[in-house]
Structure 1
Amino acid sequence: MESLIEINGTHLFVDERGRADGRPLLFIHGGPGNSCWDFMASVGDAFAARGFRVIGVDQRGVLRSDVLPHEPGLTVDVLIRDFEALREHLGLENWTVIGHSSGGAYAFDYALQHPDRIDALVLDCPALDADATDRFRLPKAAALLDEAAGSDADGGAALRDAAAECRRLATLDRRLTADDRTWGAMLPLGPHYLDLFLHDASTRARYERLMGAAPDHLDWGKGMSHLPLMAEMYRDQTLQLTQLTVPSTLLIGESDMVAPPVVRDVYRAATGHDVVTISDAGHFAFVEQPERYVDAVARFLDAPGEGAA
């Protein structure tokens, strides 16, 4: 069931699947400024078939929700208030939450602020420290740029310059911030930019087929309104992992570069739980390996008090 629900002065697009009495499962998308569309199209029905009431939301200002209001100014806390108001509107006492990428960071903040409203938390390739993400991903981008330069008929000088900039940023002796615009250093990859997020050619093809099937009328450009949230991604949230009290798991695709090894290690040390790795997947495991993804999440939710197995 799809609907527009008035929440905190704006209308949010909500996609619900499964029985009304199923276990409530909220999906928080990342981006910043993406949508729940790809998650719901890939695994929404599969989770519903497992007895979940799956709730996908386009955050305020994104895709099928209303254009972002001028007031209040967009912050992570505003999004968290929206999630809480939606829970109350739906008449739910609590719910399980999956947060993907920067949505994992929002979900983490939500769990810290409202632990009594969350049964269990799945951090899916979470962007908990963009400085660590960039330092892990930029060298890979540089290698791809060098490779592209080698096959450039015009000599590839611009690509080599971009590779050098990626390496410079990765080795700065201070924390990176949104002002460093690291994403801009990687953009010369062009069509190869997606290779930083997907496992291999076959899973990339799967992702592109899915996105190619999206309705033509969807306005993906609305997500640009969430760019101000980029600065929040450079806050090191791993420092707060010891404060997490709800049952949780950290789930990654084997070649994901958003939740780097240092973040995984801090999560293990802070929570005592292991990290669940989905083989043959990158950053979008729910698209690249949907059956394995649903199985991994369902196994954790069968016994969330034990953390990840």
Structure 2
Amino acid sequence: MKGTFIKIRGKSLYVEIHGNEEAPPLLYLHGGPGESCYEFMIHQADRLSEKLRLISMDQRGVWRSEAIEEDEPLTIYDLVEDCEQLRRQLGIQKWAVLGHSFGGLLGVLYAIHYPNSVSSLILEGPSFDLIKSIRNWLRKAASLYESIGDAEKMAACIDIANGAQTPPEILDAFIELGQGLGDLRMKVYTPNGGSNYTKMIYSEREREEFGRRTNIHVSKIFAEGRIFDSLLPKLKELTLPVLLIKGRHDPIICEEQTDSFVNDVRNGHLKVYEESGHLLHFEEPERFAMDVIQFILESNHN
């Protein structure tokens, strides 16, 4: 089974399933908010499905999933509840969860709210505290602006990174300064600039519609505001096996957040990829798949 649509709490969500039905199940949660599972599945579906039953979805209102209308509500906990309802509809007793970036935040919330549904948790470059992640991102962006001789934008990055602005103001600056980097923006995330990360099969018209849906999704998640709440105090509530995979050059999972994970997650494990950044599933795909599979199989065995 590959791409299909499954009705979850009144909306048709795009779901992909790869691998043997008897293999240990793994749910992948994409980042963003407002990205999709598209790129991850390009780079990891074949690799992970050799040993696992890989399940992914475009989150509610995102990309190929049914659109959310302007007058419909959407919260982070709607996204968490969708995970649980999908598990029940697929008849899965318990599954591992892998979250990338914003998906890592969702994975933590899901594991805390439904501890009997999640067997193990893998976090790829997660953000436990969005504001700390953005501030760290801006410090790295400042060095790129310096490299191209844009002293004004470099100073703006440093000012926001070290200032006392409100979360919405910090977010607005992050968006504006990210756009200002143009083609250099991906170099904040990964040393190689993310070349060949996306191999698009959809038409321009389809991508425009996907973008429209995603914009509604993103605006509602940020308007709700819970995305700005730090999860660092909640890490102590995780009791299941948790693997944090971090790229040394990743601006999102900063050192402060990494230290909190190491100190507070009682059954936590850390792997650092020294040459990579935020897109480990793309930058080191073979190693990433091997580490994920090994961790899930060992966790299930124990």
Same fold (TM over 0.5): yes
Q: Comparing 67-76 with 243-252, which one deviates more in the overlay?
A: 67-76
* 2:134 match: 134
What are the superposed Cα offsets for residues 243-288 of structure 1, whole Å, 9 maximum, x if unpaired? 1122111111221111001100000000243421124321111112
Aligned partners of 1:215, 1:72: CA distance in 2, in Å? 27
Please, which of 174, 199, 209 is the counterpart of residue 191 of structure 2?
199
What are the superposed Cα offsets for residues 17-50 of structure 1, whole Å, 9 maximum, x if unpaired? 0012221100001111000011111111111112
2:233 corresponds to 1:239: yes
Residue correspondence of structure 1 range 46-61 to structure 2 within 5 A: 46-50=47-51, 52-61=52-61
Aligned partners of 2:296, 2:143: CA distance in 1, in Å? 39
Please, which of 279, 287, 296 is the counterpart of residue 282 of structure 2?
287
Deviation, 1:6, is: 0.7
Deviation, 1:182, is: 3.0
Aligned partners of 1:9, 1:138: CA distance in 2, in Å? 39
Across the aligned residues of Structure 1 and Structure 2, the Cα RMSD in angstroms comes to 2.0
Give the counterpart letter for 1:212 in structure 2: K
* 2:17 match: 16
CA contact (8 A) 1:197 1:284 kept: yes
Aligned partners of 2:166, 2:135: CA distance in 1, in Å? 9
CA contact (8 A) 1:100 1:124 kept: yes
Shift in alpha-carbon separation, 1:82–1:102, aligned structure 2, 3 A = same
Aligned partners of 1:232, 1:29: CA distance in 2, in Å? 18
* 1:264 match: 258
Deviation, 1:139, is: 1.7
CA contact (8 A) 1:280 1:289 kept: no
Residue correspondence of structure 1 range 156-167 to structure 2 within 5 A: 159-167=150-158
What are the superposed Cα offsets for residues 126-184 of structure 1, whole Å, 9 maximum, x if unpaired? 111122112222122112112212xxxxxxxxx32221111111111x47513322312
CA contact (8 A) 1:98 1:123 kept: yes
* 1:226 match: 217
Please, which of 285, 302, 306 is the counterpart of residue 297 of structure 2?
302
Shift in alpha-carbon separation, 1:212–1:48, aligned structure 2, 3 A = closer
Residue correspondence of structure 1 range 100-111 to structure 2 within 5 A: 100-111=100-111
Deviation, 1:186, is: 3.1
Give the counterpart letter for 1:169 in structure 2: I
What are the superposed Cα offsets for residues 176-216 of structure 1, whole Å, 9 maximum, x if unpaired? 51332231233211111111111225xx2232xxx134332
Please, which of 170, 173, 180 is the counterpart of residue 182 of structure 1?
173
Give the counterpart letter for 2:179 in structure 1: L
Deviation, 1:67, is: 0.7
What are the superposed Cα offsets for residues 7-26 of structure 1, whole Å, 9 maximum, x if unpaired? 10110000110012221100
Aligned partners of 2:277, 2:103: CA distance in 1, in Å? 16
Shift in alpha-carbon separation, 1:278–1:121, aligned structure 2, 3 A = same
CA contact (8 A) 1:30 1:99 kept: yes
Aligned partners of 1:74, 1:163: CA distance in 2, in Å? 35
Shift in alpha-carbon separation, 1:62–1:30, aligned structure 2, 3 A = same
CA contact (8 A) 1:33 1:225 kept: no
* Structure 2 unmatched ranges of 5 or more: none
- Aligned partner of residue 116 in structure 2, secondary structure: helix
Deviation, 1:223, is: 1.7
Deviation, 1:72, is: 4.8
Deviation, 1:225, is: 2.0
- Aligned partner of residue 49 in structure 1, secondary structure: coil
* Structure 1 unmatched ranges of 5 or more: 150-158
Aligned partners of 1:81, 1:214: CA distance in 2, in Å? 30
Residue correspondence of structure 1 range 1-150 to structure 2 within 5 A: 1-50=2-51, 52-70=52-70, 72-149=72-149
CA contact (8 A) 2:142 2:153 kept: yes
CA contact (8 A) 2:70 2:216 kept: no
Aligned partners of 1:139, 1:223: CA distance in 2, in Å? 27
* 2:201 match: 214
CA contact (8 A) 1:166 1:186 kept: no
